[in-house]
Amino acid sequence: MVIELKPLVTLLAIVNPLAAVPFFIHYTQNFSRAQRRHTVFISSFSAFMVIAVSALLGLEILSFFGISLASFQVGGGLLLMTSALSMLNAQPADSRSNPDELREAEEKSSIGSSIAVVPLTIPLLTGPATMSTVVIYADKAKGWLPQLTLVGYGVVIGLATLLCFALAEPIAKRLGKTGINIMTRLMGLILTALSVELIAEGLYKLFPILSRAA
């Protein structure tokens, strides 16, 4: 069986832990080394858990609310497009959090509380666009092996987050703001094309006449 890598590429483009490095540095600047290590671990594990839960339970949640996958694909594609447009403007993470969330994170970091889950993991790393993408690919995963592979991609995302956050300061010094922005824009370009594919596929399912016309 050939393992499809498109879901992994899509998730790496959406999550883009490199773009979250400046936020990690900012929120943990007053943390001790032990607190920072703890934040790195919790953020990485939380990113994995969001993807794993979305892959295993996302379709059941849609079924419970009576939402068709085609409608969810179009909505998820639009979310991806929104994220992609923000990334093309070099605004990868800030656009995923509202001012209240960022202010709350500032207050938590100032008193030494962990900000690993909110806002670092949700919504900076794994927001609604990530969750909807995982659910869409989970529907295409027929059988336990493809579904397990999708969960495995969550492990890869968690490890990528762990690596980027653990090496946050060297990465920031090496790439600089310009380098991170270039990487973000490249990811945004890839994500734009993928979001168009998802929207088109969802529209074909909702309006079969479109596929016949094409």
Q: Write out pLDDT tens, residues 179-208.
A: 888 877 888 888 888 888 888 888 888 888
Q: Which two tokens stand for residue 207?
A: 């309006």
pLDDT band at residue 60, thresholds of 50, 70 and 90?
very high
On average, the pLDDT of the chain sits at 83
**How many domains, in total, are found in the chain?**
1
User: Is the Cβ–Cβ distance between 46 and 112 less than 8 Å?
Assistant: no
CB 162 within 8 A of CB 46: no
In a domain, 169, yes or no: yes
The CA distance from 121 to 50, in Å, is 9
Note the pLDDT of residue 152. Answer: 96
Structural domain contains residue 48: yes
Positive/negative CA dihedral, 37, 39, 44, 49: positive
pLDDT tens readout for residues 137-173? 998 887 888 889 999 999 999 999 999 999 999 998 8
With a CB cutoff of 8 Å and minimum separation 6, the contacts of 20 are 92, 93, 120, 124, 125, 161, 164, 165
**Whether residue 94 has pLDDT greater than 60:** no
State the average pLDDT over residues 35-60: 94
pLDDT, greater one: 149 or 100 = 149
pLDDT band at residue 129, thresholds of 50, 70 and 90?
A: confident
Rounded to whole angstroms, the Cα distance separating 210 from 14 reads 28
* Assigned domain for 1 exists: no
* pLDDT for 214: 58
The two tokens of residue 87 are 């990334």
Q: How far apart are CA 64 and CA 183, in angstroms?
A: 38
194, part of any domain: yes
Cβ proximity of 121 and 24 under 8 Å: no
Q: What is the spatial distance between Cα 74 and Cα 63, in angstroms, rounded to a whole number? A: 16
DSSP codes, 169-203: HHHHHHHHHHHHHHHHHHHHHHHHHHHHHHHHHHH
- The answer, yes or no, to whether residue 1 has pLDDT greater than 60, is no
* Structure confidence at residue 3 (pLDDT): 64
Q: Which residue has the higher pLDDT, 108 or 57?
A: 57
pLDDT at position 68 over 60: yes
State the pLDDT at residue 104: 61
* 116 neighbors 46 (Cβ within 8 angstroms): yes
The H-or-E segment that residue 40 falls in is helix 33-65
> Which structure tokens are listed for 155?
């492990």
> What range defines the domain where residue 181 resides?
6-213
Number of H helices, E strands in the chain: 9, 0
